[in-house]
Structure 1
Amino acid sequence: MTRHLPRRLLALALAAALAVPAGAQQVDPFTVSDIRVDGLQRISAGTVFTYLPVERGDVVDSTRAAESIRALYKTGFFEDIRLDRQGDILVVSVTERPAINKLTITGNKDIKTEDLTKGLADIGLAEGDTFDRLALDRVTQELTKQYNNRGKYNVEITPTIARLDRNRVDLTIAVKEGKAAKIRHINLIGNETFDDEAILDTWESGESNWLSWYRRDDQYSREKLSGDLERLNSFYLDRGYVDFSVDNTQVSISPDRQDMFITAGITEGEQYKVSGVEITGDTILPKEDIERLVLVQKDQVFSRRLLEISSDAITATLGNVGYAFAQVNTVPDVNREAKTVGINLQVVPGPRVNVRRIAFKGNTRTSDEVLRREMRQFEGSWYSQAALDRSKIRLQGLGFFEAVDVETQPVPGSPDLVDVVVNVKETTSGSFVFGLGYSQLTGVTTQVQLSQDNFLGSGNRIAIEANRNAYLQRYSFSFINPYFTDSGVSLGYNLSWREFDNSDFGTAAFSRTTRLGQVQLGIPLTETDSVSFALGLESDQIFTFQGLTPQSAIDYIDAVGNRTFHTARAEFGWSRNSLNSALTPTAGMFQRVLAEVALPGSTVEYYKFTYELSKFWPLSRHLVLNTRGRIGYGDSYGDETVRNLCYIAPTLAIPEPEVTPPEECTPASPDYVKTVSAEGLPFFENFYAGGVSSQGRVRGFTDNALGPREVASNGFPQPIGGALQTVGSLEMFFPTLLDTPAARISAFVDAGNVYRDFDSFDAGELRVSAGAAILWRSPMGPISISYALPLRKEDTDEIERLQFTFGGAF
């Protein structure tokens, strides 16, 4: 006993020392005549006096001194505090904690810097705050925990403190994430009815495989495993195994912290069937109408999923007639002896709800009127979930918003009223697009386009385009008011001037100058269908070049007898658009049929039909398939123009052949008499294919270079387009590959060609290419890059594997 006495005395002494706050001494009681604070740098003396529980005239003893020190420590402003006495003056000596001058986080990839900075600010570590070493220790522990939950067990968090003058510090938190531990094996014990593959196919976690680089399913996280165990439970309940249970789970890690092994022990139980389904409560609608929504029937295998779908269908139906808070309570009656489940669906409609007010938030540029006219839910009307869902789709279809979220808020004190709040996140609706391309034939081509789809927040669309390259100049102005009338009738105008000179280009060598003025009208038929009409006047001047232009084009001009074509153009269109987003659709379909007719009385009379289809198939959260196709056909109508012309060979005085009507020929002068005709679609209205243009997209080939070719007298073959166009593609988008909705990566297969006429179609002549593309809606504007390899081509085809456009936004 004696030998332990010194140790006990030491412990008592330490306990006594810890019981007294730092800096508190035995103080003889005295009356404070004044208070002085020493050691302040950034904090004012008034702040200290605010927290100090002692004032002039107070009596200070050891107890009051200890209280004062504790009160000042609780502010978190000071590292050290000491109370002294000079006569009757209380002297408070403090050492301030330093201020955080700069906070830097490096090495983090899995967790964004913005998220980390926000989390640090919540616990008091932010630039300008007072530095607390204990808070820094908590941050280190919390970050390590977060990375461990993401499967990164080798993470290293290293905080560094750099002292500065004026009692400031710079904090640097260096993160060395390391590699995530990979799931090497998942072992299920107790499953006899279903094999491991069928069960694990529903899991988000998976054993490491060749697709794990994309799916990231082999990266372990505690949250992901918890979700997978719930999916395991749902898997069996959806197949009638009511008594299913997960008995235990075990997660082990290899010594090098790189490999994870998961084991789950389960009990399947036996399969149950449905003994009967009963609907009770106030169904509001006829009971037989509600019963038709129930997918679970007597003698079926019990399925919780079908039960949930049935409940959701009932609540959605009641929600569409105003019962926003309708509920369906499922009451099961389990008979374990008979292995059956009786189901009672109790319908609780709640009060019928009116929408009091619709408010919009986040639309800093777009006026409320633009959003309100797309709403299918109205103020003062019965609440309808279907109307709200449709309103959200229409708002997304505008293309003005990156995100749209609709929520309902109960009105306090009024159970039969709700407010609808529409939160939007605006995206850049105006753009300055600069297109750039290069080929061996044309060199650099440029395109400049100024557009504003939401002009001054009114929803009106204005576009000014200037396009210039080695063979094309185009200047245009267009304006569309999508709500010219309150019913959604749109009205627009187009003015354009284009000079097309490809005498030095690889397509048919001719020059065309076009002036166009057009008025267009759009009329909605349904929520997804609309028709359009357009009427315009067009003037074309066509110039051909002897020796360069294909002879068929020269003959067409000679047959018409005029190089200036005046056209009264009418367009009729129908479209159906059920896409779920205008910017990055993942589901839905777009179709359009367009007919263009050069009206009777035009210099040449012809028509063109095009049909476009684009459908998005969401295969999974990892994959979205887009099938796209376009067919175009054109021909002339009316009488064929035929002329007999006298050709006189060129001389030194007349370098080009002289063409005159046959009656002006003399027996000695003509070299030959030729019959020419103007039939079919005019050559300058032909369809083209190849390149990145949406009108004839076959990536990997030079723009407009596919289809029929003619050899002019200079000996060079030239693409001349055709009256029949057919192009299509299969494109697989990977929405989760990039962690942003503003960018999409895809793999595609394009196919297409153009043909001289309908009878010339030959599927064997289709060109095919495959490649990858990325589309990014960057802060500067849209950027599109594709790289394609032709799979089916001819030696004469012109190849351009890398194609891209980029631009800037305002």
Structure 2
Amino acid sequence: MLSIFPSSLNRPAAIAVAAIATLAAPAAFAVEPFALADIRVEGLQRTDPGTVFAALPFRVGDTYTDDKGAAALRALFATGLFKDVRIEIDGKVAIVVVEERPVIQSVNFAGLKEFDKDTLIKSLKDAGIGEGLPFDRALVERAEQEIKRQYLSRSLYGAEVVTTISPAERNRVNVTFTMTEGDAAKIKDIRIVGTKAFSESTLTGLMDLTVGGWLTWYTKNDRYSRAKLNADLETIRSYYLNRGYLEFEIESAQVTISPDKQDISITITVKEGQPYTVTSVKLQGEYLGKDDEFKELVSIKPGEPYRAAAVAETTKAMAERFGVYGYAFARIDARPEIDRATGQVGLTLAADPQRRVYVRRIDVAGNTRTRDEVVRREFRQLESSWYDGGKIKLSRDRVERLGYFKEVNVDTNEVASAPDQVDLAVNVVERPTGNLLFGVSFSSADRLALNASIRQDNVFGSGNYLGFEVNTSKSQRSLVFSTVDPYFTVDGISRSLDVFYRTTRPFNSLGDEYQISNPGATVRFGVPFTEFDTVFFGIGLEQTNIGTTAGIPNSYFDYRFRYGPRSTSVPLTLGWARDSRDSVVTPTAGKFQRVNLEWSVAGDVRYLRSNLQWQQYIPFWNNKMSLGLNAELGYGKGLGGRPFPVFKNFYGGGLGSVRVFEQNSLGVIDPTGAYVGGASKLNVNAELYFPVPGTGNDKSLRIFAFADAGNVWREGERLDAGSLRASAGVGLSWISPVGPLKLSYGTPVRSKPTDRIQRFQFQIGTAF
């Protein structure tokens, strides 16, 4: 029996030795070519024999040679499944003897505090270290180095990683990584050398990295990070370039660490140069005969300091304008002509539109739940049409406004075989669209009041809305089923259907129980007239039953006495809405306007009820902060000789109205002490949003300051500014992975002694 076998080495060495051993073996061990009568495999425990046979370069009946034997050894070692392999020849039978590598039974961590265990397990598995995978010492050593690198990125320079391999039964091993993390190194000192125009404190104040402070335990900005330092250097560079220092340079950025690896010092050396003033801005190149149109896009003017941000803004705007005309790859070069003697610079904007292209295909990726058609029907850029940058931006904004995705990106890719064609890649990241929402409030009257709703904004990925709302407060209870099909027709006409049953028990000082029930249903259609404007119309059927139990508020008792305990109405609705907000979930820019009219044309009750709302979001401070303004006006009037029905009154106070005042407590107070709302209302709200320190531009977690004002008035009563209630306070808004959370705490600014105050209010939600 002859054998060809290498030593038990790591995989690359074993493959090499297998080849050398076979090729350079003495003539005494050479095998004369022969026809294989059989092939046997020995030593397998877990591996399927088919895996071995598939790697062999010969089959039964083939001629076996030394070259084929060496190739077989290389192929088997390349699978990574075997620690040792040899081929023995017994007559005309080839016996493949293998020794399998151990399989990793478990991966464990000891002393791990800085990282999430599940995240680390996933990253190691991607690198080949995980449960059920073959054990490879070389991969484990690389994993140690990668873990150490991760610790270094978090300023844990003294971290050590020791790997322990524990044998287990059935040729398995347990891998344990033991971490000694130590303390994170903190930034002790940041120096900027060479500054003359601006103070060192001004420049260090621009940086995210900082020395220890009262909030750095949370932000961790006193931990050194190379990525953060590079970002800070770019911030400093931008600061100078936007103030005329065209030739500003950062000569060096030195980072030193103390011998005990606990303190870090950063020294940045800069060369400011001199400031420059723009003397002229010229257009050069091909501007499609629309020079005047492109000149309007120039945001830097002669006589101003040279500002790199303004130049970048101008070239971007010009590139986008070329895109509107189908030139997706237009190039605009800003060429400054510097005169160092006078400190002046002339700017030339050279344009090369290159070629006009059309869109061959639009691909949608990342929508693991939402159907492709839900995204595609929002696109105004069509396949096989000329590329239009304006339509592409509008399409991206429309997909963003759906509220189904955390991120929406549209990339333009050239088609290699066709220079006049491009493909659009729409990449989205899904967000949870189902919510189980709870609203909780406390008061001496209602005690614990709960508002709950279960809804799915994107049911089964179809883009349809399905909701079920329950309100269990003492004063108002409701059961509402709602569904909305935003594309009831292919032209984008929407249909919404609401079926509801509401009961009302306005608070009164008598404490007696009574009930006002309101069952009904409405259907409404929305017709899009422009990209931002939609007109709504619909019809409903409602019934109102005023109970006879003692303690009913006087206003309800009077209405019941005059017109009976049961009233029916058939309201027609007509509305208009314009929405140009950049996001439905976390808007920071744009407007939302809405007008809704409700006119009861049949039944026992005749009335006209109108509601107007206006919202404006204004970003500033490099889009890190935003100001949200909201105004809402409601007005109702009775028709046919009857007063405005009391059960159609507007309410004010609480979340969504004037915070700090108890929910629905503003307006007319019945002699019984009940809050019965009024025929007209006014709300004015302002919210100033800014990011939580250390979260960067993350808009899912924001702090806000608010100021609210408003009230409710009875029919015929003049809206009096002197009777407005007002409040102010602060809050926290978080679009968390498991649902929305909003908290507010405030104080009344204008109030009456009889007002019911509720300083703390919040909403919580859980996604599914």
Question: Which structure 2 residues correspond to residues 632-647 of structure 1 after superposition, within 5 A?
Answer: 632-636=634-638, 639=641
Distance 1:615 1:136, change over 3 A: same
Contact residue 101 and residue 169 of structure 1 kept, 8 A: yes
Q: Does 1:148 align with 2:152?
A: yes
Residue 705 of structure 1 is matched in structure 2 by: 665
Q: Does 1:720 align with 2:681?
A: no
Counterpart of 1:687 in 2: which secondary structure?
coil
- Partners in 1 of 2:374 and 2:465 — Cα distance? 12
TM-superposed deviation, 1:751: 3.4
Residue 329 of structure 1 is matched in structure 2 by: 333
**Out of 319, 344, 355, which is 2:359 matched to?**
355
- Partners in 1 of 2:510 and 2:582 — Cα distance? 40
Distance 1:344 1:357, change over 3 A: same
**Out of 709, 714, 729, which is 1:770 matched to?**
729
Contact residue 506 and residue 718 of structure 1 kept, 8 A: no
TM-superposed deviation, 1:356: 1.9
Contact residue 588 and residue 617 of structure 1 kept, 8 A: no
- Partners in 1 of 2:711 and 2:279 — Cα distance? 63
Question: Which structure 2 residues correspond to residues 272-671 of structure 1 after superposition, within 5 A?
Answer: 272-274=276-278, 276-298=280-302, 300-363=304-367, 365-431=369-435, 441-442=445-446, 449-455=453-459, 457-468=461-472, 470=474, 472-502=476-506, 510-543=514-547, 545-546=549-550, 548-558=551-561, 560-599=562-601, 603=605, 605-613=607-615, 615=617, 617=619, 619=621, 623-636=625-638, 639=641
Residue 14 of structure 1 is matched in structure 2 by: none
- Partners in 2 of 1:227 and 1:99 — Cα distance? 43
Counterpart of 2:245 in 1: which secondary structure?
coil
Contact residue 708 and residue 727 of structure 2 kept, 8 A: yes
**Out of 685, 688, 691, which is 2:648 matched to?**
685
- Partners in 2 of 1:739 and 1:100 — Cα distance? 40
1:541 partner amino acid = N
TM-superposed deviation, 1:110: 6.1
1:243 partner amino acid = E
- Partners in 2 of 1:278 and 1:588 — Cα distance? 33
TM-superposed deviation, 1:638: 6.5
Deviates more, 1:232-241 or 1:610-619: 610-619
TM-superposed deviation, 1:608: 4.2
- Partners in 1 of 2:500 and 2:54 — Cα distance? 74
Residue 687 of structure 2 is matched in structure 1 by: 730
Computed over aligned residues only, the root mean square deviation of the Cα atoms, in angstroms, reads 4.4
Distance 1:216 1:587, change over 3 A: farther
Contact residue 183 and residue 260 of structure 1 kept, 8 A: yes
- Partners in 2 of 1:750 and 1:602 — Cα distance? 41
Contact residue 690 and residue 704 of structure 1 kept, 8 A: yes
- Partners in 1 of 2:709 and 2:759 — Cα distance? 16
1:165-210: per-residue Cα shift (whole Å, max 9, x none)?
1111122335555554333332111111122243334433334344
TM-superposed deviation, 1:355: 1.3
Distance 1:154 1:323, change over 3 A: same
TM-score by length of 2: 0.82
- Partners in 2 of 1:127 and 1:46 — Cα distance? 23
Counterpart of 2:198 in 1: which secondary structure?
coil
**Out of 170, 195, 203, which is 1:166 matched to?**
170
- Partners in 2 of 1:519 and 1:68 — Cα distance? 73
- Partners in 2 of 1:98 and 1:123 — Cα distance? 17
Distance 1:138 1:608, change over 3 A: same
Deviates more, 1:593-602 or 1:298-307: 593-602
- Partners in 2 of 1:407 and 1:292 — Cα distance? 27
Contact residue 32 and residue 90 of structure 1 kept, 8 A: no
Residue 653 of structure 1 is matched in structure 2 by: none
Contact residue 502 and residue 510 of structure 1 kept, 8 A: no
- Partners in 2 of 1:623 and 1:791 — Cα distance? 25
Contact residue 467 and residue 474 of structure 1 kept, 8 A: yes
Q: Does 1:236 align with 2:228?
A: no
Contact residue 613 and residue 630 of structure 2 kept, 8 A: no
TM-superposed deviation, 1:702: 4.0
Residue 788 of structure 1 is matched in structure 2 by: 745
Question: Which structure 2 residues correspond to residues 38-57 of structure 1 after superposition, within 5 A?
Answer: 41-43=45-47
Contact residue 490 and residue 522 of structure 1 kept, 8 A: yes
**Out of 204, 207, 212, which is 2:208 matched to?**
204
Gaps of 5+ in 2: 1-15
Contact residue 690 and residue 703 of structure 2 kept, 8 A: yes
- Partners in 2 of 1:729 and 1:440 — Cα distance? 28
Contact residue 439 and residue 762 of structure 2 kept, 8 A: no
Contact residue 21 and residue 70 of structure 1 kept, 8 A: no
Deviates more, 1:618-627 or 1:148-157: 618-627
**Out of 751, 754, 778, which is 2:711 matched to?**
754
TM-superposed deviation, 1:416: 0.9
Q: Of the two, which has the highest radius of gyration?
A: 1
Deviates more, 1:610-619 or 1:121-130: 610-619
1:786 partner amino acid = L
Contact residue 599 and residue 606 of structure 2 kept, 8 A: no
Counterpart of 1:720 in 2: which secondary structure?
strand
TM-superposed deviation, 1:350: 1.4
Distance 1:66 1:638, change over 3 A: closer
Residue 8 of structure 2 is matched in structure 1 by: none
Contact residue 689 and residue 703 of structure 2 kept, 8 A: yes
- Partners in 1 of 2:433 and 2:121 — Cα distance? 30
Distance 1:225 1:87, change over 3 A: same
1:123-174: per-residue Cα shift (whole Å, max 9, x none)?
4323322222232222222222233233332334343333211111122335
Counterpart of 1:483 in 2: which secondary structure?
coil
Distance 1:146 1:621, change over 3 A: farther
Contact residue 445 and residue 507 of structure 2 kept, 8 A: no
Counterpart of 1:285 in 2: which secondary structure?
coil
Contact residue 215 and residue 622 of structure 1 kept, 8 A: no
- Partners in 2 of 1:77 and 1:635 — Cα distance? 82
Residue 6 of structure 1 is matched in structure 2 by: none
Counterpart of 2:547 in 1: which secondary structure?
strand
1:704 partner amino acid = N
Distance 1:735 1:579, change over 3 A: farther
| Percent of residue pairs identical | 32
Distance 1:392 1:74, change over 3 A: closer
- Partners in 1 of 2:638 and 2:275 — Cα distance? 70
Gaps of 5+ in 1: 1-19, 642-678
2:708 partner amino acid = A
TM-score by length of 1: 0.78
Q: Does 1:139 align with 2:95?
A: no
TM-superposed deviation, 1:30: 2.6
- Partners in 2 of 1:65 and 1:536 — Cα distance? 84
Contact residue 405 and residue 422 of structure 1 kept, 8 A: yes
Distance 1:411 1:434, change over 3 A: same
Contact residue 722 and residue 754 of structure 1 kept, 8 A: no
- Partners in 1 of 2:110 and 2:323 — Cα distance? 50
- Partners in 1 of 2:51 and 2:126 — Cα distance? 23
Contact residue 565 and residue 604 of structure 1 kept, 8 A: no
- Partners in 2 of 1:762 and 1:611 — Cα distance? 19
Contact residue 625 and residue 688 of structure 2 kept, 8 A: no
Residue 29 of structure 2 is matched in structure 1 by: 30
- Partners in 2 of 1:58 and 1:314 — Cα distance? 69
Contact residue 435 and residue 765 of structure 2 kept, 8 A: no
Distance 1:118 1:325, change over 3 A: farther
1:751 partner amino acid = D
Residue 5 of structure 2 is matched in structure 1 by: none
TM-superposed deviation, 1:326: 0.8
Q: Does 1:102 align with 2:65?
A: no
Contact residue 691 and residue 704 of structure 1 kept, 8 A: yes
